[in-house]
Structure 1
């Protein structure tokens, strides 16, 4: 009788666990490491993996809008996979554990190198509605109160970076590592002390920098600066635009001062009102939504591309949020911004930087 009771107890626990696992799947999946342990690759599900920059709760509504467009276009269920690490997001797409990903140009190139079935779907256009001005900006920023430490004869100079504490985003980040590191290496190419700098040298202290941190997101890199953990930080304009405002000067120009807005979402909620200043600004090609054709298939690829590039999507204020709106979104709209189809070779300028 005792053995029978134990058996019934174990059976009951098993059934409870089984029932919990069988309940409706979550629209967004993640775990502590950002891995794809909960992802599904069935024929009626399309998985989208997101970088850490776009995985915050404040951008959930925008992610949902994109998911809804893809669901309507394909008749399939979209599941969003959130991550805390660039490498995990890239490998998830490469290893056929996701159909789509929104990723930087360098991340796309790395993914393409790892799996030739990966192709760009669309990129955000510029204000013209075309690829002609489809750019955003990579920043090097410093504490506004320490700006004189980064100037020579009253002008910002990269010469002042020596022995500073540096924060990058990730070595797979286009605007948070590859572009600024290339800029720094090119600048010091004629220097007697630093002419042989490599990207690997800039990933750790002891060469040019005294210490190197990685924020794992653009937001994280910015907060490394604002919290005083770094003297200089690399991050991009678009990834922090929901949290900061121009306090002085012209946006996206060296010398512009930015202030963290009141009521900013995490991780900026603890640094409201703090300011930083831009010492260097470099234009960068816009980031693609990329697809793994092995997973999504040609037919759904075309459906998704057509739907994302449509006028309806361009006019969806949940995705392209008007500049004067108080809502937060993945993209802002000042004029004719929209998604535009793009080919692999459009990313060749970034590919050349990555191969230096």
Structure 2
């Protein structure tokens, strides 16, 4: 696991350095024959469609409206595939996506390109990452230890919850890790990602659930519908606090806040433990350059990458409040090329 994490981290750093030197974003590749429009439609994944993100969603749309002078509408979703299809088809012109969803949308339509991406705390792409977790309920963590260290050995035969098969941190990364780990054993030497998508007595997992959001995947774990669950740190940030250990490290214990909203209102005070942690490239605001003209793309990029947006507390929130992205130091939006997401593509090879 340490070796795999190192490989992924090195890929991230290598591509981030290249993208940081040459990234020009979507504005240089916008299509010329865009049909006239007076409304821009922004699409949100199920995670950011939750009520806790409403003020942040509205603020992003206000920035876009102010920059372009056009009406901005929103499309919230309950399924990753709906959001991906919306931007790929042009029904939505902008979407806030994960890396895997972006890659899938770009594959469907090459005019889908990154608009902006959030940097890391350094203010650069070098640490523009979040974290994919595999977690178990507090009290069960000893089942996933060997010689005092956490291991994936005993996840086999358990009930598993993912987010969506189009989720980077909630499916693609954890399944890649599991395949890499178990393919070294005699019993599972031929294991493939497809083998991890369905449950059954003859399958790797006893049962498999898809929450369709990181929040619901976590709730599946805490409700004990699942024994192990995949979800990420950023989507859970409004709902949980670190109880013991260091954030985003194996063995850290997280506790649901006393004022957590749905789907955690009946799970307040519940705790879970991280048994696997893997860094993941930050997802972009993606744009359909065949449905949005270059002038508007440039205006939106300028507005989103401005210092004003970087200091907008409805988007970049301080710990203890709510927003879209937690502000720890110098985070802000920046342009990035499609090639920056090549490490995500590599996970599917």
Scaled by the length of structure 2, what TM-score is found? 0.88
1:184 & 1:306 partners in 2: Cα distance? Answer: 41
2:121 aligns with one of 116, 127, 149: 127
- Does residue 186 (structure 1) correspond to residue 200 (structure 2)? The answer is no
Q: Which residue of 1 aligns with 2:93?
A: 99
2:191 aligns with one of 186, 197, 204: 197
Q: Which residue of 2 aligns with 1:283?
A: 279
1:345 & 1:266 partners in 2: Cα distance? Answer: 37
2:211 & 2:270 partners in 1: Cα distance? Answer: 18
Q: Which residue of 1 aligns with 2:9?
A: none
Q: Deviation digits for residues 172-221 of structure 1, max 9, x if unmatched? A: 00000000000110111211111111111110113211111001100010
Shift of 1:42: 7.0
1:248 aligns with one of 239, 244, 247: 244
Shift of 1:223: 0.3
Q: Which residue of 2 aligns with 1:19?
A: none
What SS does the corresponding residue of 2:84 show, helix, strand or coil? helix
2:195 & 2:228 partners in 1: Cα distance? Answer: 16
- Does residue 209 (structure 1) correspond to residue 213 (structure 2)? The answer is no
- Does residue 142 (structure 1) correspond to residue 136 (structure 2)? The answer is yes
2:51 & 2:223 partners in 1: Cα distance? Answer: 22
Q: Which residue of 1 aligns with 2:158?
A: 164
- Does residue 257 (structure 1) correspond to residue 250 (structure 2)? The answer is no
What SS does the corresponding residue of 2:229 show, helix, strand or coil? strand
Q: Which residue of 1 aligns with 2:296?
A: 300
After superposition, residues 51-130 of structure 1 pair within 5 angstroms as 51-130=45-124
- Does residue 226 (structure 1) correspond to residue 215 (structure 2)? The answer is no
In structure 2, stretches of 5+ residues that fail to align are 1-34
Distance 1:42 1:258, change over 3 A: farther
2:307 aligns with one of 311, 315, 320: 311
Shift of 1:154: 1.9
1:242 & 1:53 partners in 2: Cα distance? Answer: 11
Shift of 1:228: 0.3
Q: Deviation digits for residues 242-293 of structure 1, max 9, x if unmatched? A: 0000000000000000000011011011100000000000000001000001
1:124 & 1:245 partners in 2: Cα distance? Answer: 22
Scaled by the length of structure 1, what TM-score is found? 0.87
1:214 & 1:257 partners in 2: Cα distance? Answer: 23
In structure 1, stretches of 5+ residues that fail to align are 1-40
- Does residue 235 (structure 1) correspond to residue 238 (structure 2)? The answer is no
Q: Deviation digits for residues 84-105 of structure 1, max 9, x if unmatched? A: 0000110011111011000000
What SS does the corresponding residue of 1:228 show, helix, strand or coil? coil
2:324 & 2:83 partners in 1: Cα distance? Answer: 17
1:350 & 1:125 partners in 2: Cα distance? Answer: 17
1:69 & 1:159 partners in 2: Cα distance? Answer: 48
Q: Which residue of 2 aligns with 1:322?
A: 318
- Does residue 271 (structure 1) correspond to residue 267 (structure 2)? The answer is yes
1:193 & 1:311 partners in 2: Cα distance? Answer: 54
2:166 & 2:148 partners in 1: Cα distance? Answer: 34
Q: Which residue of 1 aligns with 2:21?
A: none
1:118 & 1:162 partners in 2: Cα distance? Answer: 37
